[in-house]
A = this chain, B = another copy of it.
Amino acid sequence: MTMIEAIRDAMTVAMTRDANVVVFGEDVGYFGGVFRCTQGLQQKFGAARCFDTPINESGIVGTAIGMAAYGLRPCVEIQFADYVYPAYDQIVSEAARLRYRSNGDFTAPLTIRMPTGGGIFGGQTHSQSPEALFTHVAGLKTVVPSNPHDAKGLLIAAIEDDDPVIFLEPKRLYNGPFDGHHDRPVTPWSKHALGEVPEGHFTVPLGRAVVRRPGAAVTVLAYGTMVHVAIAAAEATGVDAEVIDLRTLLPLDLETIQASVARTGRCIVVHEATLTSGFGAELVALVQEACFYSLEAPIGRVAGWDTPYPHAQEWDYFPGPKRVGEALLEAMAG
């Protein structure tokens, strides 16, 4: 199953099990979304449960909050993560704080899906990775799957979660795993173990990381596309890296991270978002605090440069296996 199919499957399962699950967003209804993640849902569940919206992201999230307060479980799509900013106030000031400020009188169990990340020559407004803008906000959960299996299990968990969840879908992974070697042909998910997705209902619980590649020399913390890049970098450099796929950024599975770094004594953090104040900074801060006395080298960060995401220079911008490999070697040398 591709990641698109897995995401669609997750919504189908959730909508079938719970009549309160509704899906909407720009081009999401009749057409089924510009990435086709919602294809067929309107036909299956009717236009009152899956529909097209006006182009107003604040309206999409704002109405979703009202619906969630009513008792529904909206799962809405923002067409690209780059377009979430008009909805930022509703997310930060409203969804995130509704339970707290009303002491549970009202809650906002909603899921906000959005394609994230670059690698499709989308330029600065179809490539962004804004996860750190959500992890800073108390009351939100933030999830980034790296494969179809997790995408389905995490999305069902997100929809069933009683708190608002930001669900970032690395669009470069939609059709196949991507390890940053953009000049090589894409392997489809059907040839990847994690493209095998159980039928029906299952969840991958929020807040649990997983070791994707065991190793003893250095811990790599990654999520989304960068999980594959990190594995490729480990293979290419021969560094015995342990690659952890965080899956959920908040709540974070610090235990798994800590256990690994305590063993390896070295750590690097990779993400596609711009470096400064990225989620990597938080990871570094946590790891140096939790593992200070086991660390043998500074924790390295590999991330997008602190510039807008450029169009032509996409592959100079993207933190690919070469840069991650260098950071691995540096961590080993440090």
Contact = CB atoms under 8 A, between A and B. Distances in A.
Interface of A: 58, 82, 85-86, 88-89, 92-93, 96-97, 100-101, 124-125, 132-133, 135-139, 250, 273-274, 276-282, 284-285, 288-289, 292, 295, 297-301, 306-308, 334
A93 B89 contact: no
B281 A289 contact: no
B97 A124 contact: yes
B279 A289 contact: no
A125 B281 contact: no
Contacts of A136: 132-133, 273-274, 276-278
Contact of A307 (B138, B279, B289, B301): B138
A313 to B, nearest CB: 12
A211 to B, nearest CB: 23
Contacts of A273: 136
12 contacts: A82-B93, A86-B89, A100-B307, A101-B308, A132-B136, A138-B306, A277-B277, A281-B284, A284-B288, A285-B299, A288-B288, A292-B298
Q: How many copies does the complex hold?
A: 2
Contact of A289 (B86, B292, B298): B298
A281 B277 contact: yes
Chain B CB within 10 A, most for which of A100, A278, A280, A282: A282
A118 to B, nearest CB: 14
A276 B282 contact: yes
A144 to B, nearest CB: 14
Nearest to A334: B292
Chain B CB within 10 A, most for which of A93, A100, A301: A93
A136 B96 CA distance: 20
Given A85-B92, A288-B284, A277 B132 contact: yes
A306 B141 CA distance: 12
Contacts of A297: 292
A93 B137 CA distance: 20
Contacts of A298: 288-289, 292
Nearest to A286: B281
Given A86-B89, A298-B289, A308 B250 contact: no
Contacts of A101: 124, 308
A217 to B, nearest CB: 18
A289 B299 contact: yes
Contacts of A89: 85-86, 88
A299 B308 contact: no
Contacts of A284: 281, 284-285, 288-289
B282 A279 contact: no
Chain B CB within 10 A, most for which of A97, A297, A308: A308
